[in-house]
Chain A
Amino acid sequence: MTDTSPSSQTGAGFDWTSDAYRERLRKRRRSELLLRMAGLVSISLAIGFLMLMLGSLATTGYKAFTQTHVTIDVRLDPALVDAEDVAGSNWRRVMQAAVAEMFPGLEDRALRDVRAILSDGATFMVRDRVVADPTLIGSVLTIRVPVSDPFDQLNKGTVDRNTPEANRRVSDAQIAAFDQLVAAGRISTPFNWALFTSADSRFPELAGLKGAFVGTGYLLLVCFAIALPVGIGAAIYLEEFAPKNRISDLIEVNINNLAAVPSVVFGLLALAVFLNWFGLMRGSPLVGGLTLALMSLPTIIIATRASLKAVPPSIREAALGIGASRQQVVFHHVLPLAMPGIMTGTIIAMAQAIGETAPLLLIGMNAFITAAPSTPFESATTLPTQIFIWADSPERGFVSRTSAAILVLLTILVMMNALAIWLRRRFERRW
């Protein structure tokens, strides 16, 4: 070890105390400091942008995770509810009577204004409850139903009570009636389960992601079922069997290029081939899954080849040495060892597919449907296209629901990536 005190450093043929040396040292230290600072600034910028995005999503989106409800008493008068044809009874009249009972002394016009506090879906909720249990007829049903979007916004403070009456969606009389309900303890703000259990609706208070969840699920199933076997097959052939020549080089270059093709191109391809030529159902998860399978194939092939390559040649040679055929080598030894890497690559490809929007818009997966699809052959939406539809809706409630849906999508993506990391940590073998 060199003694660092300046007095003893003059002997080694180098002047450690000279001004020129100190100047150089200062310069080197300064440039290192600059590099560090630049790195720090870049990282904090990146984190800052991420925080900004998450922060703006969270501040607008958190409101959508609760929904204002009102508890109402509905008198199921046998004169109004026909026991023979429960579903076909005049449920609007039943609801009108229920509201009139809650606000006695109001006349027609004012009553209609107050009725607007209840969501349009309330009528159908009461109907469905009675259809499921006709013995309720004749009793008083106490049921908690959502309030309509303007009042949900009022309760959450998005609508300012101080704006002049003409400029807001809710009138002074309606606010008074709403406050009366608050005072009576009928208003509650529970967790918004409808966001996860209902399909799309034109009323924000009733709209949910169920259709998008089911659509995305079917789409991933189709995508996975097609892309995984084809991708693994292609990778095995290229890695284990294909002779190394110009043609296989060309294929390799093309696969790498295919991974960089913009997704909208796949959408146009799907529009021309799957819809116009094969005549598959427009907007169905089947078509969406086929399209995204084309898109994820290169990713899966590249990931699979990399993990096949990582299996040491000694394993192949040992297996061949004791008389295994090449097919046995691949399926008994190489593929099982490469599986964790393949699954990681596949999950990352699926996570990409979940967030894909552009090709799905071209094949009509952005339709408005109030029911979740029951098979992959029916039209459906996916999470990103549902976000697209909500972002374009005029009602105020969809602003927060759009952000909430994005948060849900991001959560799913983070979970899938975490699964990929966990799989890799758990099963990966280093040689």
Chain B
Amino acid sequence: MKSFQITASVLALAAIAPMAEARDQIRIVGSSTVFPYTQAVAEEFANQGGAAPVVESTGTGGGMQIFCAGVGADHPDITGASRAMKKSEYELCVQNGVTDITEAMIGYDGLAIAISRANETDWDLTLEQVYKALAAKVPVDGQLVDNPYKKWSDIDAALPDTPILAYGPPPTSGTRDAFVELAMHVGCAATDYAKALKEANADDYKKFVEEDCSRMRQDGPFVEAGENDNLIVQRLEADPNAVGIFGYSFLYENLDKLKDVKINGVEANIDTIASFEYPISRPLFIYVKNAHRGVIPGLNEFLATYASEDALGKGGYLEERGLVVLSDEALAAVQDALTKGVNMAAPQK
């Protein structure tokens, strides 16, 4: 039985495989928004002769869990995040011995609200209108009630007489967190109800923002479309009245099919996102485990590639991919932190 000999030898091979072997590839986990940029740097690094890094898209929260699990070859070296590390995550890191972490802001990402080019209206919404269209509970005549709006024209007569239908990211996504914080909370705070509440009772107001302003409606008009943004693009093409919420890079790649919905009269593009004129934009980060520097081969060189002007700078290949780049001073600070391995301070919240 020759096949038995072969299987036996393969089994033996599997058994003697070192359990926690040293590795010569850099491992990177984290946010799906940072993923395409890290991908680009990884490919550039491999083309320059480094061992091809392993880049995995796990979502910001999932990435932090894996990144903070410990120090050693079993654990990743870098995680990407579409928001800053939370205090609880930092504490988890410290608890597992991951104390020396470099935080680097690599640039900004805009969240686009997009609609098919087949839709002829020139859309321009305020964040308050976005909040009213998509929140679970909205104030009507001084009372907080279940969202009664079915059509855009119910919110403001000037808006089109079409049903509200928005495809957006699920709660596990960093994009969703950012959207809730940057669009929903701001839009919510702009309502008269919130303003009155803020004057009356600061604690109640805080609770109101954290709970009622953060809940997306579940009665149909807001559809969680999963982590696959291409799927949202296809649905928008099929239904010209639907809007979609995703990272700016997906709008950028599909500008022939989709157009953006202006927010407060501001169009989403690279310039308005970088200047924060466009209100829904957020910073992107990578976190580096400094204990792995000098242990994992190529990590320092990889970080130098990441920090280089060709990548992060103006006209660099990450900008070509849709990243909104940092100002010159901010970039210099990030390059300094990445190359020298400056440890971050514990986050406040």
Contact = CB atoms under 8 A, between A and B. Distances in A.
Interface of A: 87, 120, 124, 159-160, 163, 166-169, 199, 201-203, 221-222, 224-226, 228-229, 278-283, 286, 364, 366-371, 377-379, 389, 391-396, 399
B25 A379 contact: yes
A420 B219 CA distance: 49
Contact of B36 (A222, A228, A394): A394
Given A168-B255, A202-B39, A281-B23, 15 more contacts: A160-B256, A167-B259, A169-B253, A202-B321, A366-B56, A368-B42, A368-B57, A369-B52, A370-B52, A377-B21, A391-B230, A392-B57, A394-B230, A394-B250, A395-B253
B54 A124 contact: no
8 contacts: A168-B255, A202-B36, A222-B14, A228-B3, A229-B11, A368-B57, A370-B42, A391-B230
B55 interface: yes
B228 A391 contact: yes
Chain A to chain B: the 7 pairs with minimum beta-carbon distance, closest first: A371-B52, A225-B10, A367-B56, A368-B55, A394-B253, A379-B54, A370-B52
Nearest to B317: A120
Contacts of A392: 32, 57, 227-230
Given A283-B56, A394-B250, A201 B230 contact: no
A21 to B, nearest CB: 57
Chain A binding surface, main DSSP class: loop
B40 interface: yes
B317 to A, nearest CB: 8
B39 A368 contact: yes
B90 interface: no
Nearest to B233: A394
Given A279-B20, A281-B21, A202 B40 contact: yes
Given A222-B14, A368-B35, A279 B74 contact: yes
A371 B53 CA distance: 9
Contacts, number: 112
Contacts of A282: 27, 74
Contacts of A391: 228, 230
Interface residues of B, number: 50
Contacts of B32: 392
Contact of B11 (A226, A395, A396): A226
B7 A225 contact: yes
Interface string B32-51: 10011001101100110101
Interface string B83-117: 00000000000000000000000000000000001
Contacts of B20: 279
Nearest to B17: A377
Contacts of A226: 11, 14
A202 B230 contact: no
B296 to A, nearest CB: 14
B19 interface: yes
* Most chain A beta carbons < 10 A, residue from B19, B42, B256: B256
B10 A369 contact: no
B11 A225 contact: yes
Contacts of B35: 368
A120 B318 CA distance: 13
A225 B253 CA distance: 44
Q: Which of B14, B58, B321, B322 has the most C-beta atoms of chain A within 10 angstroms of its own C-beta?
A: B14
B200 interface: no
B249 interface: yes
